[in-house]
Amino acid sequence: MNRFIVAAVAGLAASLATAPIYAGVTEEQLAGDAQSTGDVLTNGMGRDLQRFSPLTTLNKENVKNLVPAWAFSLGGEKQRGQETQPLVYDGVMYITGSYSRLYAIDVATGKELWQYDARLPEGILPCCDVINRGAAIYGDNVYFGTLDARIVALNAKTGDVVWNKKIAEYKEGYSYTAAPLIVNGLVITGNSGGEFGIVGEVQARDALTGETVWTRPVIEGHMGTLNGKESTMTGTLNATWPGDLWKTGGGATWLGGSYDMDTNTLVFGAGNPAPWNSHLRNAGTPVDGNAGDNLYAASRIGIDPATGEIKWHFQTTPREGWDYDGVNEVVSFVDKDGNKKYATADRNGYFYVLNREDGKFLNAWPFVKDISWASGIDETGRPIFVEENRPGNPAQSADGAKGEMVFASPSFLGGKNWMPMAFSQNTGLFYVPSNEWGMDIWNEPVTYKKGAAYLGSGFTIKPNYEDHIGSLKAIDPMTGEWKWEYKNEAPLWGGVMTTAGGLVFFGTPEGEFLALDDATGETLWSFQTGSGIVGQPVTWEMDGEQYVSVISGWGGAVPLWGGEVAKKVNYLNQGGTLWTFRLPKQLAAAN
């Protein structure tokens, strides 16, 4: 045989021997992701979004021995905020980066295998930095969204484009930043753009072809589709919206959703109604029953994954007027008495517990200290408004240009924003990243213009306390009691993870990646990453060792929208580095 052919065959054999083997991710593997320990296949480390690992190799006694294994730089000038959650499968880690990039990395060495950069057009309109929160994996493909409101399927082995589909028109203010959700062979996506008068929607596509199966707008009056034909209207036209305002009603589904396998329900949150000026959306009508609620904005919505039909809804902030989006994640859990429930920590400052069967309200408690817009939540789950703390109606001002300014707490960035909380199956507690801040806010006249900001409000964010803004709290979902609190000078803007080893992992804008004792909040380990952490940690095991990864790279909404708070943290450095740590075998038993 020709010696060149022999050499080529030998080289191919060596390459195949070291290359990752792609077996294709199944629905069964996705369903079992929360229990598996050798990979991370879903955003949330399980589609219930508990972000709890059953691994115990790394624990309170030996976490001090956790050391860096490798670091991967996203490189170049394209840094900004890095909010991704890594996925790990068959020896490969997948992360997304700012400006709609996706990387495949050898998980053993940190070496890049391939990179995909979306070709973003001029004129994209991202509200809150050029971030991306992660990917999804199914079959032989990996999926992620782009800032020009598209969803892309790539071959997981090569990075080649399998299909590329349009979610919405970016020129109208739409974008997409969340990690997609895979359920029964469907790729489920939301949309972003709530500050541009868009309409929130959930879409389901065939994972293999990218063809749309169903769509479900989340503002009443809009029609859904099923298999290319109109299906049913969302809600009832003009039941809670005056005139034609429902046509540009907001409600962006920008954080993505969760999947409750027990009830076969997708649970998505809908963002703020548009415009922010609630007086315009009430149009002078009395607030009787649901007249001014503006459904289904600022709500959690249960959806049938096969058809896109709405099963139930729970509106956290009816007649919303402070930008208290209702998108925050809904986590399925079982309480200490064995009851199946949902929990969600809303931007409005209240921690809610709902029934898993029908989304009905069970209880709510404050998880931040200074809530000014409501005095509490009544027995039905509706807020008890403090009307004098609602921004004033500009139409009633002397010049009609600016309504009465009020101080409202929490700020429009929320008691909790996008940053995901975690639930420990061991302690039964939720670990909630929150921020203690308020804002001066006022309303202004506004007219809708396609592709332009559609707020009708002005605002300035202010810290509520001198010594801290960020606050990680351990909350009992049975009582609402705070078991402990970790205070941080800068706002917390990254995700939380907890483990069966008794640890709570999270990062700070100051660059510290920490592990706390899940029972006491005591700091057990920390590592300085060199840039602010606004990403989401994960953990898995490989070759008998436990690994932890998190991305570091300061950015997101705070430095863009943070008012006085942005000035307080303007010294923080941007970056873009994925850090991976391991507990060496020989140190696993060390105290």
The string of pLDDT tens digits covering residues 175-195 is 999 999 999 999 999 999 988
The string of pLDDT tens digits covering residues 331-380 is 999 999 999 999 999 999 999 999 999 999 999 999 999 999 999 999 99
Q: What is the pLDDT of residue 10?
A: 42
Beta strands in 207-271 (DSSP E): 212-217, 223-226, 229-233, 257-260, 265-270
- List CB contacts of 431: < 8 A, sequence separation 6 or more: 421, 422, 423, 424, 472, 473, 474, 475, 496, 498, 504, 506, 518
Tell me how far apart the alpha carbons of residues 484 and 500 are, in angstroms, rounded to a whole number.
18
Taking residues 9-31, what's their average pLDDT? 60
Tell me whether residue 18 is in a domain: no
Tell me whether residue 54 is in a domain: yes
pLDDT at 284 over 70: no
Q: What is the pLDDT of residue 11?
A: 43
As a whole number, the mean pLDDT across the chain is: 93
Q: Which domain holds residue 123?
A: 27-587
Percentage of the chain modeled with pLDDT above 90: 85
Tell me how far apart the alpha carbons of residues 398 and 401 are, in angstroms, rounded to a whole number.
8
The string of pLDDT tens digits covering residues 252-277 is 999 999 999 999 999 999 999 999 99
Amino acid identity, position 155 = N
Ligand-binding annotation for 83, yes or no, is yes
Nearest partner of 23 among 137, 190, 121, judged by Cα: 137
Ligand-binding annotation for 417, yes or no, is yes
CATH at 269: 2.140.10.10
Beta strands in 381-467 (DSSP E): 383-385, 406-408, 422-423, 430-435, 437-443, 457-463
Q: What is the pLDDT of residue 97?
A: 95
Tell me whether residue 108 is in a domain: yes
Domain count, the chain: 1
The H-assigned helical ranges of 257-387 are 278-282
Neighbours of 398 (CB within 10 A): 6
Ligand-binding annotation for 337, yes or no, is no
Percentage of the chain modeled with pLDDT above 70: 94
Ligand-binding annotation for 211, yes or no, is no
DSSP class of 403: P
The string of pLDDT tens digits covering residues 379-401 is 999 999 999 999 999 988 888 88
Tell me whether residue 52 is in a domain: yes
Tell me whether residue 4 is in a domain: no
- List CB contacts of 452: < 8 A, sequence separation 6 or more: 173, 196
Nearest partner of 181 among 337, 365, 27, judged by Cα: 27
pLDDT at 581 over 60: yes
Tell me how far apart the alpha carbons of residues 471 and 489 are, in angstroms, rounded to a whole number.
9
- CA angle, residues 276, 277, 281, in degrees to nearest 5: 100
Tell me how far apart the alpha carbons of residues 98 and 177 are, in angstroms, rounded to a whole number.
10
Contact 440, 433 (CB under 8 A): no
The string of pLDDT tens digits covering residues 410-432 is 999 999 999 999 999 999 999 99
Q: What is the pLDDT of residue 578?
A: 98
Tell me whether residue 375 is in a domain: yes
Nearest partner of 269 among 174, 178, 134, judged by Cα: 178
Ligand-binding annotation for 37, yes or no, is no
For the record, the structure tokens of 329 come out as: 């994640």
Ligand-binding annotation for 101, yes or no, is no
pLDDT at 15 over 80: no
Ligand-binding annotation for 323, yes or no, is yes
Ligand-binding annotation for 379, yes or no, is no
Q: What is the pLDDT of residue 569?
A: 85
The string of pLDDT tens digits covering residues 205-247 is 999 999 999 999 999 999 999 999 999 999 999 999 999 999 9
Give the range among 19-23, 298-302, 321-325, 511-515 with minimum mean pLDDT: 19-23
pLDDT at 19 over 80: no
pLDDT-derived band at 14 (thresholds 50, 70, 90) equals very low
Catalytic amino acids?
A: 323
pLDDT at 13 over 90: no
Q: What is the pLDDT of residue 6?
A: 38
Tell me whether residue 12 is in a domain: no
Tell me whether residue 167 is in a domain: yes
The string of pLDDT tens digits covering residues 146-173 is 999 999 999 999 999 999 999 999 999 9
pLDDT at 285 over 80: no
Q: What is the pLDDT of residue 96?
A: 97
Burial of residue 243 (number of CB atoms within 10 Å: 0-12, 13-18, 19+): exposed
Q: What is the pLDDT of residue 389?
A: 96
